[in-house]
Amino acid sequence: MHEPVPTGGPRVFISYANDHGPHAEAVIRLWRSLIAHGIGAYLDVEDQDNRQDWPLWMQRQIDAADYVIVVASTAYRDRAEQRIERGVGRGVAHESAYLRELVYENPGNSRRFLPVLLPGETPDGIPAFLGRYGGTRYELRSFTAAGLEPLLRALTNQPKYPRPPLGTIPALPPARDPGPDAPPDPGSAPATRRAPGPSAQSVTGSTVHGSVVQIRNVNGSVRFTRGGGPVGIPASDLPGADLPGAEPPRMTAVPPSPDAGQVVTDSRVGDGVTQLDGVGGDVEIS
């Protein structure tokens, strides 16, 4: 018996359905590639020229292996599940029956049995007892290190995303207990509407002096007693105010009807003004 000697890597037995064609050739490529990448892989072709008790050989290989690679194919599935004519594929039938017995004896053994899909194969070829759709499977893109990466990581216990070291729990201070007589926390008080500042005035039949920011809902007439520019800016400071023929700044009054806008400068606006914006000067309300 000619066995490769593992050099620190895991021992792996490859179980497959030999079709004596392209599928078997692909399995041999997998076997050689695993050995080239430090995996002690074993395949029946190594001893096919020596007289063997094949059922015993298979059983010993499975028992000695750290992992068993089950190369999925429809032929392997059908032989493992006895879907084919009796007497066909005895080797796979024996191997799969022994694997199934080990899983039945101890379900934890299934962690050692890795379903592998060669390029072009589908999960339909995985025997049901290995988790055809609900279990982990290893799909190979090629026989290079990159193509074998998921399988190599599993065989050598090199996860792609290793768990980081556990850090230290931060010490978080408790909330301060203010006591029953402490004033309420301003941050927890309900939001309140801030009272109008000095520039907000409610007037009727009077005069508002200074730069009026906004006038709303005026019941009566509005007269500008002194023209000005926008809020807080003298008319003389507006761009273009010093150009020959420049017109004085004009303010806008918005009446109740949106279709009846009025433009006024140092003049009277009719009854029912809804809003005046940016008035720089005095406004007389009568």
All residue ranges of the chain with pLDDT < 50 are 1, 4-5, 191-202, 211-213, 224-241, 248-267, 271-274
Residues 251-258: contacts with CB within 8 Å, 24+ apart? 251/224, 251/276, 251/277, 251/278, 251/279, 251/280, 252/276, 252/277, 252/278, 253/222
Provide the pLDDT for residue 20. 86
Provide the pLDDT for residue 69. 97
Chain centroid to CA 31: 37
Provide the pLDDT for residue 179. 80
pLDDT digits (tens, 9 = 90+) for 14-63: 999 998 899 999 999 999 999 999 999 999 998 778 888 888 999 999 99
Chain centroid to CA 116: 28
Provide the pLDDT for residue 128. 92
Provide the pLDDT for residue 7. 56
Provide the pLDDT for residue 220. 57
Q: pTM for this structure?
A: 0.58
